[in-house]
Amino acid sequence: MIVGNIKDRRIYETAHPLFSQAFDFIKKHLEEPKPVGKYEILGDTLFAMVQEYDSKTVAKMEVHDKYIDLQFIVSGEEKMLWAPREELAIVTPFPENKDTEILEEGDRPSTLILRAGEFAIFYPTDAHKPGLAVDTPAPVQKIVVKIKV
């Protein structure tokens, strides 16, 4: 897992060959916002989802095998939980043609609070529970960039 601020993107771009293009999409969105939806950058190898929703009090711990998640907060704030995948039991295995497996939360997840301009990158080894309210549910705009492993 990596946590950072978009202003420091150059530090993180070398961590994966497609991170630079992922951050470019985010930067362009900040300059010229796109509506909610899915945007192909490199087909199914690299794509982004612009999302708007109210943060919630209940969510599920998830993990992905095929994609790295780069979750960037455009506006609002969001709490996320993180735990090492290897420590958690599977609740719902990967459904056919899906890349989300649901895991138990475990007894020691770490808490992240991300605000506008901040991001978290979750690798397949990182179980995460995004979308949570910091205090009470509030509007969030987020970009999730999916980077094929």
Q: Which of 76, 72, 19 is nearest to 45 (CA)?
A: 19
pLDDT per residue as tens digits for the range 131-146: 999 999 999 999 999 9
Kind of pairing between the strands at 46-54 and 139-148: antiparallel
Q: Which pLDDT value is given to residue 123?
A: 98
Q: Which pLDDT value is given to residue 133?
A: 98
Residue 72 and residue 115 in contact, taking contact as beta carbons nearer than 8 Å: no
For 98, other C-beta atoms within 10 Å of its C-beta total 11
Q: Which pLDDT value is given to residue 96?
A: 81
Q: Which pLDDT value is given to residue 35?
A: 98
Q: Which pLDDT value is given to residue 16?
A: 96
pLDDT averages per 10-residue partition of the chain, 149 residues: 97 96 98 97 98 97 97 98 96 87 94 98 98 97 97
The SS3 call for residue 24 is helix
Q: Which pLDDT value is given to residue 19?
A: 98
Residue 35 and residue 50 in contact, taking contact as beta carbons nearer than 8 Å: yes
- Copy the structure tokens of residue 106: 């475990």
Please report how many Cα atoms fall inside a 13 Å half-sphere around the Cα of residue 2, on the Cβ side. 20
